[in-house]
């Protein structure tokens, strides 16, 4: 699975910046407002799990792209190494 650059950038921002920041915000502010501790814990765990899930999607996409790039580079190198031999290259050094 590969993601286009825009989707990748948005998911990276949501997974690495937004979700952790939101979890900390809720864990800090909601007790002040008297929200039940069990509900706060459930929200924070859920938000962090979503962030980890997004991180996994990003990792799979990045690994897939890296593998595709490596294969492309390998085949380009393989093709260059198997270039046809010119008759002048076969002259003997007698």
Q: What is the number of structural domains in the chain? A: 1
pTM of the model: 0.65
Flag whether 85 is in a domain.
no
pLDDT of residue 8: 85
- DSSP-derived letter for residue 15 is I
Flag whether 30 is in a domain.
yes
**Which residues span the domain enclosing 12?**
5-73
pLDDT tens string 25-43: 999 999 999 999 999 999 9
Q: Which residues of the chain have pLDDT under 70?
A: 1-3, 63, 65-71, 73-74, 76-94
Flag whether 56 is in a domain.
yes
Within 10 Å of residue 5's Cβ, how many Cβ atoms? 7
Flag whether 80 is in a domain.
no
Flag whether 84 is in a domain.
no
The string of DSSP codes covering 24-56 is HHHHHHTTTTT--HHHHHHHHHHHHHHHHHHHH
Flag whether 50 is in a domain.
yes
């Amino acid at each position: 699975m590969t993601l286009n650059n825009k989707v990748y950038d948005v998911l990276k921002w949501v997974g690495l910046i937004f979700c952790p920041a939101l979890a900390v915000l809720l864990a800090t502010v909601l007790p002040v407002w008297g929200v039940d501790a069990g509900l706060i814990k459930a929200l924070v765990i859920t938000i962090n799990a979503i962030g980890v899930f997004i991180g996994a999607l990003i990792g799979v996409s990045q690994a897939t792209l890296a593998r595709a790039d490596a294969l492309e580079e390998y085949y380009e190198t393989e093709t260059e190494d198997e270039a046809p031999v010119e008759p002048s290259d076969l002259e003997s050094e007698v």
